[in-house]
């Protein structure tokens, strides 16, 4: 049985002082869960979040990174820096980064390799637009994103990767994919992993993301191929996020 992994993505929200407030309440609310809990916070919050998560079951992730170790890349953060801070996870290829910051399948692949080199576990985001869904090319597009992201990644490396299926039309819109539709795409992703790597596909965590809240988490996370969620807006509030983490 695969474990359930629920990650919050705070996006560009909360300052270090808000981290303190959040971490005063949140770890206590989820200390009794067997599900894995991750908080992906802005770069400026990482130090405090890592410090305040010590001794709790909350793991900390970043939301992006550069693929180089160091150099003249003004404003960027390297995988080595994240590793030095004891950050454990990093979101790679979120649709907002693909849309607003020119991330491509190629940079996603480079970032995954760089993250793994520095002992960071990537949460790799894929997902189709509404136009692609309506044109009936969701399967082709999403499995293509998965294939391109994983170029030259070995089976052992794959085991450290989480895939997050986030249909773009469901992000921040209040429109959740139906549990059946979400599960169908997660199944297609697993079939693609099986075609590429064999039965290890059954061990890989595939999350759903897009307007997950405490009222729909259980329905989604109990589906056969959905192993938890990547949660945006609803991860900003400790009580609400803890209900999602403890959906079962
Ligand atoms: P919302 O949960 O706010 O729809 O965001 C989903 C998301 O993009 C998480 O990465």
pLDDT digits (tens, 9 = 90+) for 20-67: 999 999 999 999 999 999 999 999 999 999 999 999 999 999 999 999
**If we measure between CA atoms, which residue out of 3, 76, 103, 86 comes closest to residue 50?**
86
246 band by pLDDT with thresholds 50, 70 and 90: very high
8 Å CB contact between 147 and 128:
no
Mean of pLDDT values over 200-225:
98
| The pLDDT of residue 176 | 83
Q: Does 128 sit in the ligand 1 pocket, CB within 6 Å?
A: no
| The pLDDT of residue 172 | 87
3-state secondary structure of 14: coil
Strand partners, 162: 123
Residue with tokens 């490396």: 157
8 Å CB contact between 27 and 58:
yes
> What span, in angstroms and rounded, lies between the C-alpha atoms of 165 and 141?
12
Q: What separation in Å is there between the alpha carbon of 114 and the centre of ligand 1?
A: 25
| Residues acting as catalytic residues | 94, 166
pLDDT in tens, 104-156: 999 999 999 999 999 999 999 999 999 999 999 999 999 999 999 999 999 99
Q: What separation in Å is there between the alpha carbon of 198 and the centre of ligand 1?
A: 30
pLDDT in tens, 160-192: 999 999 999 999 888 888 999 999 999 999 999
> What span, in angstroms and rounded, lies between the C-alpha atoms of 170 and 48?
31
pLDDT at 1 over 90: no
> What span, in angstroms and rounded, lies between the C-alpha atoms of 230 and 232?
7
Q: What separation in Å is there between the alpha carbon of 180 and the centre of ligand 1?
A: 19
Kindly give the interhelix angle for 179-197 and 138-149, rounded to the nearest 10 degrees: 40
Token digits of residue 21: 């407030």
What mean pLDDT, rounded, does the chain reach? 97
Q: Does 9 sit in the ligand 1 pocket, CB within 6 Å?
A: yes
| The pLDDT of residue 174 | 85
3-state secondary structure of 220: helix
């Amino acid at each position: 049985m695969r474990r359930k992994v629920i990650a919050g993505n705070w996006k560009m929200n909360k300052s270090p002082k808000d981290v303190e407030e959040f971490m005063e309440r949140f770890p206590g609310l989820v200390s009794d869960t067997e599900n894995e809990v991750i908080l992906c916070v802005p770069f400026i919050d990482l130090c405090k979040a890592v410090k305040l998560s010590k001794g709790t079951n909350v793991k900390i992730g970043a939301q992006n990174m550069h693929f180089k170790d160091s150099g003249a890349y003004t404003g960027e953060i390297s995988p080595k820096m994240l590793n030095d801070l004891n950050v454990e996870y990093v979101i790679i290829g979120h649709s907002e980064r693909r849309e607003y910051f020119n991330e491509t399948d190629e940079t996603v692949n480079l970032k995954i390799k760089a993250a793994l080199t520095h002992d960071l576990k990537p949460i790799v985001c894929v997902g189709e637009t509404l136009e692609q869904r309506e044109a009936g090319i969701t399967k082709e597009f999403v499995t293509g994103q998965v294939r391109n992201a994983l170029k030259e990644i070995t089976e052992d490396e794959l085991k450290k990767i989480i895939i997050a299926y986030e249909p773009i039309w469901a992000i921040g819109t209040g429109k959740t994919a139906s549990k059946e539709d979400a599960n169908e795409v997660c199944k297609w992703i697993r079939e693609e992993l099986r075609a590429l790597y064999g039965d290890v596909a059954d061990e890989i965590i595939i999350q759903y993301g897009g307007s997950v809240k405490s009222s729909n988490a259980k329905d989604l996370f109990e589906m056969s191929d959905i192993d938890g969620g990547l949660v945006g807006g609803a991860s900003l509030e400790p009580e609400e996020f803890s209900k999602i983490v403890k959906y079962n």
